[in-house]
Structure 1
């Protein structure tokens, strides 16, 4: 998957970007919880996962 597209998705829809990069697993659950608590930590987590 194109890295630029994943970064854009990580900013707009963090759980979708994490799902496309890592699949359904613990990283997706962590990201959904972070997005529910506050949006910015979810974005940071998604950016970190998609760029590493």
Structure 2
């Protein structure tokens, strides 16, 4: 695992929407992640980890 991906994983745990934005920009993934984070934090974090590692 390279340094950039490791840093994105750490950001995905702490600030999931920021990690999704850095990985995929503004789009469908970011919208889904913001909605998940507003409802519950854990699903938003899991979605961010999935987006960062795919």
Whether TM exceeds 0.5 here: the answer is yes
Given candidates 36, 39, 53, the residue that maps to 1:37 is 39
Larger Rg: 2
Which TM-score applies when normalising by structure 1?
0.97
Gapped regions of structure 1 (runs ≥ 5): none
Aligned length: 52
Gapped regions of structure 2 (runs ≥ 5): none
Aligned to 1:50: 52
Which TM-score applies when normalising by structure 2?
0.94
Give the distance between the partners of 2:5 and 2:29, measured in 1 at CA. 18
The superposition leaves residues 1-50 of structure 1 with CA deviations (integer Å, 9 ceiling, x where unpaired) of: 70000000000000000000000001000000000000000000000000
Q: State the Cα RMSD in Å.
A: 1.0
